[in-house]
A = this chain, B = another copy of it.
Amino acid sequence: MELDQLRYFLQVAQRQNFTRAAEDLAISQPALSRSIQKLEEELGQPVFERKTRSVALTEAGTLLQARAQQVLTILEDTKAEITDDGQSGRVRVGAIPTIAPYFLPEVLRQFADAFPKATLIVQENTTDVLLRSCTQGEIDLAILALPVPAKYLEVEELFEEELLLVLPPEHPLVARERIRISDVEPYPFVLLDEAHCLSDNIASFCRQRSFQPVAVERTSQLAMVQELVSLSHGVSMIPAMARQLDQSDRRVYRSFTGKKPTRTVAVAWNPYRFQCRLLIAFRERLRRQRAAAGGTGSASAKA
């Protein structure tokens, strides 16, 4: 049994397809086939069930997948731990799409300046994918919004951030001095796909006020939501950090009067993995950024 075999195996298991996995691994498909064959020969039974259009893990394969993952993570962490000089290394950050472009760039810039030898890798994905990646050691930490449904992960809250009402310029509510959450109930919403946790945050906040926002349209990007609001397709709620970067005058942001809707931004990581000094430094920077981001966010909301 060789480590390459295990890496190959894991890729095939993930892709459920030899050809694609071979491409990912930058080897030829025959080489991959033979490598897996050899592994199966050694184990005395197949790890994949070859179906006509794809492959599936056998029982043995499922067991091997967990252990192979574990072994490779241990070795990777060991290597990191030994070579940890606090300066060079790799930090793989995951963030949800409604945070990434608004919060990360400044942190990344500062971090890259402070640690020029470090390699930063950013992955943008939905909460569930990020948490799985974090658990499996594919990323080192994830920046997302509460709630975080994950056992075995350490979660630290960074800051609470206001969700602002965004309106088309000609919307009747624009003229209002004070807007309460109940005031928006009659108006249709533009929301993100259900995969995005921001939709959950908004729905959850509305539910507390006993109404369900009616989505007339669902998009996959926050920028698209903003554009659709400008075109009067509906109203929406946008995190303060996204409002910061919005230079357009084709929409208007308003802070709610009374109890304001918020989301809490947090960082999650796998405490069972080795935490190199670079990682600890990165989390420290996230905490420092917290004050800044949270502060600006609120300030802007009041403006």
Interface residues of A (CB under 8 A from B): 1-3, 42-45, 60, 63-64, 67-68, 70-71, 74-75, 78-79, 81-83
With both beta carbons as reference points, the residue of chain B lying nearest to A68 in the complex is identified as B78
Residues of B within 8 A of A44 (CB): 82-83
| Complex alpha-carbon distance, A43 and B82, angstroms | 7
Taking a contact as CB atoms closer than 8 A, the residue among B42, B74, B81, B83 that contacts A70 in the complex is B74
CB distance from A194 to the nearest CB of B (A): 38
Docked Cα-Cα span, A64 to B81, in Å, equals 9
Is A63 a contact of B82 with CB atoms below 8 Å?
yes
Are A79's CB and B42's CB within 8 A? yes
Complex Cα distance, B295 from A54, in Å, reads 61
Contact of A78 among B64, B75, B79, B82 (CB under 8 A): B64
CA distance A3 to B6 in the complex (A): 11
User: Once the chains are docked, how many angstroms separate the CA of A74 from the CA of B74?
Assistant: 11
Whether A64 contacts B42 by the Cβ 8 Å rule is no
- With a cutoff of 8 Å between Cβ atoms, the chain B residues found around residue A45 in the complex are 82-83
Known A-B contacts A43-B83, A63-B78; the reply to A2 vs B3 at CB < 8 A is yes
Is there an interface contact between B60 and A82, defined as CB atoms closer than 8 Å?
A: yes
The reply to whether A71 and B75 form a contact with Cβ atoms under 8 Å apart is yes
Which listed residue, B67, B68, B70, B82, touches A64 by the CB 8 Å rule? B82
A101, chain B: closest CB distance, angstroms: 35
